[in-house]
Chain A
Amino acid sequence: MDLPQGTLDLLILKAIALERQHGWAISERIEQISNSALKVNQGSLYPALHRLERRGWIKADWDVSDNNRRAKYYRLTKKGQKQLEEQTGAWRSLSAAINLLLDHS
């Protein structure tokens, strides 16, 4: 299933909420957690990462990865943390409302 519009940012923020990740790991993580139900289009993942970085929601550092290669790790900033909370809340109320609507009829 493709991601609904505008949810990629939220998923990225969620994926690195616990610990820093590099790009590939983020896409893997989203797929794994959603039981492969959600598939991240890799072509849009990186632009999204760069956009979030520009907004200051996430921060990137270069570090050595598990297999001894240089990789770019993204982690949540304070601003990003706040965004994550806000967007999670917004998404929850939206989906609850939509569920309500769908169940009702």
Chain B
Amino acid sequence: MFTDLYFRLRALVRRPTVERELDDELRFHLDHQIEKYVAAGMTPAEAARRARIEFGGVDQVMEACRDARGVSLVDTLLQDLRYGGRMLRRSPTFSCIAIATIALATAAIATVTSLADTLLWRHLRAADAATLVSVSATRGRPTEGVVSYPDYASFRDRATTVSGLAAHYSTAPLFVAVGATAKEVNGAVVSASYFPLLGLQPALGRFFHAEEDRVPDRDRVAVLGYDFWRTWFAADPSAVGSALTINGVPFTIVGVAPANPVALTPLPVNVYIPTMMLRVGYRWCKDSLASDCNTLGMVGRLAGGRSVAEAAAEFAAIMPERWRHAPIGENRGVAVRQPRGMSEDDEEPRLVATLGAVAILLLVVCCANLGGLLSAQAASRQDEFAIRVSLGAGPLRIVRQVITESLLLALAGGAGGLVLSRVFIGALSRMFFSMDDEGHPLVYDFSPSMPILLATLAAALAAGLLFSAVPAMTAVRRSSLRPLATRSTSARWAASRGLLAVQAAVAVALVATAALLASSARLVLTGRNYDASHVALMRLRPRLVQYTPERAQRFQREVVERLRAVPSVESVSMVGVGSILGGGTAKAALPGWPKELEMTVRYNEVGPAYFDTVRTPLIEGREFADSDTLQAPPVAVVNETLAARLWPTPAQATVGKPDGRWLDTVIVINGTPRQVVGVVADAAITSRTQAAQPWAYVPFWQNAGAIDSRIAVRTSGDPAALLPELAREVHPIDPAVPIADTITLPVQIAGLTRPVRVAALFIGYAAALAMLLTAIGLYGALAFAVSRRTKEIGIRLALGAARGRLVASIVREGLGVVLAGAAMGIVLAILASRLVASLLYGSAGSDWLFYAAAAAAVGVAGLGASLLPARRAAGVEPIVALRQE
């Protein structure tokens, strides 16, 4: 093994010495042989001749020796590379097209891998990340569940498989005031063990002492995020020790976190406070430190030698007793896993898989295309191959040559793809991963990594081998010593015809899918039964500054009145739960229903004119008015789906047909009987795979506990331009009330439907490339066929063939292939739209339009690609053509 390696290396590194030695050795042998024959009585000349004949060709023997020594593998590779480089330089156009194509295709692979790495695979950027585990409660669904402080403390005190367990609530909206500046920023409530557990060192000052995280509400200490310190304090070291107000409570700054802290969520943390300050950081529970208030995530460090599985077993054994009897929807189990990736969206793994499939498909299309072009090239190089075969090159050597050339192209393309993918990832990151659906900045770490490099390299190599397969076979078949002059173009054209049809099919499928996705991205903004355009949003959170519900109601009423008075504002409304067009859940029943029959429905508290503001059609009855207050009778509005479930209609009546049957009946929502005053159309943002959900709405004003709100303002103008003015109107009412999330509804929905937009853009790119490739491939194949048939065309023309018919015949040939492919493509597109159905919005009724349009687009590209060579054929001068060769 080692002698072998030593020999090969010596042969390679000390080539001149080795060659000279070989030479000496063989000469020594010949000399001896000659001496022997001379001694036997031959003349020296005859002896020399005899010895040489016996010995055989010295060069062949030397070559065989080199082979035996193992030099030749590397040697021939170098030779192939030299040849390859020369060939590629000789046809620069082809080389450029090939490299560009591979670069564009491998860039897609690299981009998807980068997405996958950041969203799904990457370890935390922490010291010894492999021993970090995230511990979360399970609730019967795979989503990660947070836990209450007492539950965390119980895990922390009992677990032995982890050397430390830290708690964190890393997405805490904190209203921070320093001097005159006040703003809502994302903060984190963390246990004192958090920083040491993640191996962090403060950039300035210190982190929390354990003692500062022991007594509730006592130690008002805060650590600043590095960027927050730089922007709010201009990186002034004297910030440590100074004061800031968080949600109305004064805190002392004790330190500054490092510039690159371990990010547990994509939301950067601006301010950290200890878990004992949870009542300041989290205001949605009566007592945020009580066991019924689930807010905290947990991250642990495995004790020496312990595995994730051991930790999982232990945590399951020590989980709080009441979890074992909890109903579905509450914490009832515990999951321990290594934190991987930044994805917080269940849709994202599917998205990445879909994009990965598209990228691979694109690579295959590229290979088919280049294979076609390369084999056309190989066909025109058949003379060269034939000569090399007759000079003694084995067929394997020729194949190796072709493969080496392809690999050269592929690797150059792969390198280009890697560079290009950084541009793509930068664009994707800016467009989709820099802001969440509430307008907060996000930070995703898309830095290059090993998996990206490996995937790109693998893709480039696979592409090189794949697209050299066809020309390599062509080369071998051709290199058998057939007369140099005979050529067959018809066979080759038939072979590439199949490839081209497949390319056209893939192009049609991709174009159709991309169009469907793009239209979905648009439909989700102006969906069925709602219209998000022209709606501006604003979030008012008086709860952060300790408003009582009564005071909040007065405040909110004044806000609505002021905003209604703004010119260009058409209507103003609000929701109390979640976001506009979104909401929470509630229990709904008809009076007298037993508890088991209660339905879980989607729910929101909405202001007057809410349905008018979001343009949801009222099917019957009325929507809420200013008069629906706490003093007025409780009322509710239901959507069609809930109406149909509560009052199933007889077969002949259809939902939505107003008959007033259920108006003024009573429905019990969360235990309160309410009179149904209206029925609205189903208006939630639901993709095709999501069933319509039952919704119940109650008036915002009739919720005694409502304090915070999300305001929606419909304007006749540009909602984005209106945002500053809205804030200016609201601010004077009470400057202390935090105003946040001033964004437009389209921006918010876009943030909520990121997967569909990412997919639309990515698949759009793939579709454009596939279409371009199909056109180039078709053009190349036809142009090649025409150039090979120049003589035949000349004869035909000389015999009186009409030029028009000639053009028509060539175009027909090209279009035939494309249209056959397009037909396959429509079938593919229908299958593909099923695959991405979870990303599609709006009805499937008009999908056929997209299929037809895609087929037409690819058909037009095909027509263009065949017209050019056809016109060249028609331009052939018979005399010139016949003189050729």
Contact = CB atoms under 8 A, between A and B. Distances in A.
B488 interface: no
B55 A42 contact: yes
Contacts of B28: 22-24, 65, 69-72
A43 B68 contact: no
B64 A46 contact: yes
Interface stretch (A11-19, A53-61, A89-97): A53-61
A48 interface: yes
B32 interface: yes
A47 interface: yes
B3 A55 contact: yes
Contacts of A24: 28-29, 32-33
B25 A56 contact: no
A57 B56 CA distance: 26
A56 B26 contact: no
A78 interface: no
Nearest to A71: B28
B652 interface: no
A22 B7 CA distance: 19
B21 A72 contact: yes
Interface string B58-74: 00110011011110000
A62 B22 CA distance: 12
B65 A50 contact: yes
Residue with the greatest number of chain A CB neighbours at <10 A, chosen from B4, B32, B33, B67: B32
A93 B604 CA distance: 93
B288 to A, nearest CB: 74
A51 interface: yes
Given A23-B25, A54-B7, A55-B3, A42 B65 contact: no
Interface string A54-89: 111000001001000111100000000000000000
A56 B61 contact: no
A12 B549 CA distance: 103
A34 interface: no
Nearest to B51: A42
A69 B34 CA distance: 15
Residue with the greatest number of chain B CB neighbours at <10 A, chosen from A22, A44, A50, A53: A50
B24 A54 contact: no
Interface SS, A side = helix
A41 B29 CA distance: 13
A51 B70 CA distance: 8
Nearest to A25: B32
B67 A47 contact: yes
A15 to B, nearest CB: 14
Given A24-B29, A24-B33, A54 B64 contact: no
A47 B61 contact: yes
A53 B7 contact: yes
Contacts of A53: 7, 69
B25 A46 contact: yes
Given A54-B7, A56-B4, A70-B24, A42 B29 contact: yes
A47 B68 contact: yes
B25 A54 contact: no
Contacts of B54: 42
A40 to B, nearest CB: 10
Interface string B815-831: 00000000000000000
A44 B29 contact: no
Interface residues of A, number: 23
A65 B27 CA distance: 14
Interface string A15-45: 0000000111001000000000000011110
Residue with the greatest number of chain A CB neighbours at <10 A, chosen from B3, B24, B25, B67: B25
A24 B65 CA distance: 15
A50 B56 contact: no
B55 A50 contact: no
B25 A72 contact: yes
B64 A47 contact: yes
Interface in B218-267: none
Contact of B69 (A22, A50, A69): A50
A2 B17 CA distance: 33
B56 A54 contact: no
B25 A43 contact: no
B311 to A, nearest CB: 51
A70 B32 CA distance: 12
A55 B5 CA distance: 10
Contacts of A43: 55-57, 60-61, 64
B4 A54 contact: yes
A22 to B, nearest CB: 7
Contacts of B57: 43
A53 B22 CA distance: 13
A51 B8 CA distance: 11
A58 B128 CA distance: 50
A47 B62 CA distance: 8
A24 B32 CA distance: 7
Contact of A50 (B3, B60, B68): B68
Contacts of A51: 68-69
B8 to A, nearest CB: 8
A89 to B, nearest CB: 24
Contacts of B55: 42-43
Interface in B1-50: 3-4, 7-8, 21, 24-26, 28-29, 31-33
A80 B28 CA distance: 25
A48 B65 CA distance: 8
Residue with the greatest number of chain A CB neighbours at <10 A, chosen from B4, B56, B60, B68: B68
Nearest to A27: B29
A57 B616 CA distance: 88
Contacts of A23: 25, 28-29
Interface in B799-836: none
B49 to A, nearest CB: 15
B33 A55 contact: no
Nearest to A70: B24
Contacts of B67: 47
Contacts of A44: 64
Contact of A54 (B21, B26, B61, B70): B70
A56 B3 contact: yes
B38 to A, nearest CB: 13
Contacts of A50: 65, 68-69
Residue with the greatest number of chain B CB neighbours at <10 A, chosen from A41, A46, A53: A46
B61 A55 contact: no
B26 A46 contact: yes
A55 B4 contact: yes
Contacts of B21: 62, 72
A70 B31 CA distance: 12
A46 B421 CA distance: 53
Contacts of B4: 54-56
Given A24-B33, A46-B26, 6 more contacts: A42-B56, A43-B64, A47-B64, A54-B4, A54-B8, A54-B70
14 contacts: A24-B32, A42-B29, A42-B55, A43-B61, A43-B64, A47-B67, A50-B68, A51-B68, A53-B69, A54-B69, A70-B24, A70-B28, A71-B28, A72-B28
Interface of A: 22-24, 27, 41-44, 46-48, 50-51, 53-56, 62, 65, 69-72
5 smallest beta-carbon distances between A and B, as pairs: A43-B56, A56-B3, A47-B64, A51-B68, A50-B68
